[in-house]
Structure 1
Amino acid sequence: MAATLEEVPRRGWILVKALMRFAFMIFNNLVAIPSYVCYVIVLQPLRVLDRKRFWYIEGTMYKWLLGMVASWGWFAGYTVMEWGEDIKAISEDEAMMLVNHQATGDVCTLMMCLQDKGRAVAQLIWLMDHIFKYTNFGIVSLIHGDFFIRQGKSHRDQQLLLLKKHLENNYRSRDRKWIVLFPEGGFLRKRRETSQVYAKKNNLPFLTHVTLPRFGATKIILSVLVARQENGSQAGGDAKELESKSKGLQWIIDTTIAYPKAEPLDIQTWILGYRKPTVTHVHYRIFPVKDVPLETDDLANWLYQRFIEKEDLLSHFYKTGAFPPVKGQKEAVSREMNLSNTWLFLIYSFAVLSACM
């Protein structure tokens, strides 16, 4: 009984802190999101006069909004340790991130990771479940050009056609360069059993820490965004046209998220902060797009192989608490990801001042 009574103040403080954080999140959304929308409306003439500059400004504000979401976890002590290759080196190139999916906290984790990767997060498109369209952040994602995908076999073919059209109409016209995709098509806990049944039927590896990826969206993205090559140069057009054309998608970033004890963070935890401070680990591997097969069967096998390797990476992490070293290195090197409190103060101040105007 005494032990229980001793727990009361601690649990009471956790509850009070969670309520305070929830109130702060509501306030944050009430000042930041309307400000973003108002600026976008006011800047519409600039969109007509100078489309590239308009989307540059919009992307900057989008980065700030994602930085605010990242800060909710940062202030609660939820930090990120990065492993593997340095993706900052390719932040100016077009790239697609293939990420394993365990919980809603994966998105928040990536929002934090990408804050120090140049303008990558400002020029980013997310592929996310359609339910997010109806959240407070839905209007921001719609303006920015994120794609909401509806899950399920009955919707699959239609959704892939819509994705193709969306990328053709919104990706380069809005000066986007990165795209984030969760190829598993759902959370690990929801898809693991069906994935294992499918693997058994098709003589594929039995995976525990990830599920077999779906490749439809990946194929569409590659078919739309990879620059077509003819005789080593971009196909079609004269030299001036070629110079103005995008180089196309150049890199695949295989991104593996690992949580201590395989206990993922969800969005509720990220907002309310009721779990103890924890470090999420993110591992990167970079593959040139030119080495990725585009034919359906070959692409499926390539994706399966990446997720088999993710399984090995995660197995190693859960056994040792660290990812294995990059090929050619004797020891694995990790990098702690930091957010600047000064920068966070400035973007919050800007949002509040904008709301007061």
Structure 2
Amino acid sequence: MMGLRLIRPYFPSIYWKIEGHMYHWLLAMVSMWSWTAGYDIIESGDEPSTCMGSRTLVLANHQSTADVPMLMTAWNPRRGVLCNLMWIMDRVFKFTNFGIVSVLHEDFFIQAGKTKREQSLEELRAHIHKFYVPLGRQFIVLFPEGGFLHKRREISHRFAEKNNLPKLEYVSLPRAGAMKVIMDEVGPQMCDAASSSKAENNKGIENNNRKTHKMLLETTVGECIDWILDVTIAYPDRIPLHLTDIVCGFRKPCNTHIHYRLYPSTEVPTDAEGMTQWLYDRFIEKDKMLEEFYRTGQFPSNVPYVKRRVRQDNLQYMILHLFFLASTYIQYRMLCYLVCWFF
């Protein structure tokens, strides 16, 4: 992927197309770790394919270092997802072995802590317009709790006491700052405003040149968030997997359950207080859902409960291994050639 950077200034569209595929391939290798260790994924709830082709904000609960790899595993078989998403993750992940890949993909690294919060939100605002929108990313993945559950639970309880909110046991109360920035910049109200502005500015053009006007309006299509995908991750016996389990297979094979709920973005209030309360309501519901799941083994649902086991493609894994082995060998030979040339 580093070599591709050379063609980026001259052929950006080709670069990002190739980069997207290679990014998916690398995440597929991560998904293989959990798959071969026997950590299967069971999906339930709404079908995420409904929001395919539309910009979608993904909200997920955060329990451990395994959350991101498990989402990668769940979405690997779905075409067009992993190559078209942007992760919002803690800045510490920038300095891991996966960090360089995320940097090249233009994922966003947010800084934790009160002192850096406002600065991080402003950087996210700029990042959305610099990369998320121009690159045509469809999915933006956010963990609103701002940290792992075991670190956040006590803080969440204290905050709940001060603000007359329920104490949550299976999730923590979320922070709405990042979601507010995202919805302010690419929410449905921004599409309406952009369309109205273009319609007003091009009123004369509509009468004289309908074709040109149509092209101008089409530039706003797909630029704004259409869906909110609420993701609830439940690990067996309330004991989350960890990255070391996935990489080394320390834990016995088990099933991780992922429940989806889809909301049209127009349901989210646009004011700060209303949006925060909407997000609180989702996580209060999520807490009740997890309580019932750990008690009954099923998430509550208003429709017939259907479980879908995620199936991976072993042929894909084999082809990707052959590709990366061949790529490594070619790079090794090129390095040897350069060393011999100069020395």
Q: Counterpart of 1:347?
A: 320
TM-score (norm 2): 0.88
Paired positions, count: 315
Q: Structure 1: how far apart are the matches of 2:196 and 2:93?
A: 37
Q: Structure 1: how far apart are the matches of 2:217 and 2:10?
A: 24
Q: Structure 2: how far apart are the matches of 1:159 and 1:356?
A: 40
Stretches of structure 1 that go unaligned for 5 or more consecutive residues are 1-35
**Mapping for residues 83-102 of structure 1, pairs under 5 Å:** 83-102=44-63
- Name which of 26, 37, 41 aligns with 2:2: 37
Summarize the Cα distance change of 1:158–1:319 in structure 2 as closer, same or farther, 3 Å threshold.
same
2:56–2:226: 8 Å Cα contact kept in structure 1?
A: yes
Q: Counterpart of 1:207?
A: 168
2:77–2:313: 8 Å Cα contact kept in structure 1?
A: no
Identity of aligned pairs, percent?
A: 41
Q: Structure 1: how far apart are the matches of 2:2 and 2:258?
A: 32
Q: Counterpart of 1:190?
A: 151
Q: Structure 1: how far apart are the matches of 2:184 and 2:296?
A: 39
Deviations 1:18-76 (A, max 9, x none): xxxxxxxxxxxxxxxxxx322x23543xx533x33321221111011001001111110
Deviation beyond 3 Å, 4+ runs, structure 1? 229-235
1:229–1:235: 8 Å Cα contact kept in structure 2?
A: no
Q: Work out whether 1:276 is the aligned partner of 2:252.
A: yes
Q: Work out whether 1:293 is the aligned partner of 2:272.
A: no
Q: Counterpart of 1:31?
A: none
**Mapping for residues 148-227 of structure 1, pairs under 5 Å:** 148-227=109-188
Deviations 1:173-203 (A, max 9, x none): 2221100000000000000011011101111
SS at match of 1:158: helix
Summarize the Cα distance change of 1:232–1:161 in structure 2 as closer, same or farther, 3 Å threshold.
closer
TM-score (norm 1): 0.85
Q: Structure 2: how far apart are the matches of 1:226 and 1:72?
A: 36
1:212–1:307: 8 Å Cα contact kept in structure 2?
A: yes
Q: Counterpart of 2:235?
A: 259
Q: Which amino acid aligns with 2:181?
A: I
Q: Counterpart of 1:130?
A: 91
Q: Structure 2: how far apart are the matches of 1:216 and 1:60?
A: 31
Q: Which amino acid aligns with 1:139?
A: I
1:347 CA displacement: 1.0
Q: Counterpart of 1:243?
A: 218
2:59–2:143: 8 Å Cα contact kept in structure 1?
A: yes
Stretches of structure 2 that go unaligned for 5 or more consecutive residues are 200-212, 331-343
Q: Counterpart of 2:108?
A: 147
Q: Which amino acid aligns with 2:59?
A: L
SS at match of 2:215: helix
1:81–1:279: 8 Å Cα contact kept in structure 2?
A: yes
Q: Which amino acid aligns with 1:340?
A: D
1:305 CA displacement: 0.3
- Name which of 79, 100, 114 aligns with 1:118: 79
Deviations 1:57-109 (A, max 9, x none): 21111011001001111110011000100002222111011000000100011
2:194–2:220: 8 Å Cα contact kept in structure 1?
A: no
Q: Which amino acid aligns with 1:241?
A: L
1:226 CA displacement: 2.0
Q: Structure 1: how far apart are the matches of 2:138 and 2:308?
A: 24
Q: Structure 2: how far apart are the matches of 1:250 and 1:91?
A: 10
